[in-house]
């Protein structure tokens, strides 16, 4: 292994630390993103509790309406009578 000057060693350490910090800027560990708030179980600007409740109510009302529409009887097929030859 070659001996590196001390300023390159420090720069290499800086790059490693910076890359680790960049990985934490967005995602599960970040408290400012919706994914981070879901992981932490908290609410805020990016994960608004009222908006989530409204979405849940809408999806629940759509689910209750959909089965009633599916239970409607299918239209009857027409049968064509064959003409008798005379």
From first to last of its 86 residues, what are the pLDDT tens digits of the chain?
556 666 677 777 777 777 666 555 667 777 788 888 888 888 888 888 898 899 888 888 877 655 555 566 777 777 877 777 76
Residue 68: the pLDDT is 53
Residue 23: the pLDDT is 56
Going by C-alpha positions, the residue among 50, 23, 12, 56 that lies closest to residue 4 is 12
Residue 60 structure tokens: 């629940």
Q: Are 36 and 30 in contact (CB under 8 A)?
A: yes
């Amino acid at each position: 292994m070659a001996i590196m000057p001390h300023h390159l060693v420090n720069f290499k350490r800086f790059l490693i630390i910076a890359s680790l910090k960049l990985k934490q800027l967005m995602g599960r560990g970040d408290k400012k993103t919706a994914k981070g708030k879901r992981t932490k179980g908290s609410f805020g600007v990016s994960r608004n509790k009222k908006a989530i409740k409204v979405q849940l109510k809408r999806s629940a009302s759509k689910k209750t309406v959909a089965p009633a529409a599916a239970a409607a009887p299918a239209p009857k097929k027409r049968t064509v009578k064959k003409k008798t030859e005379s």
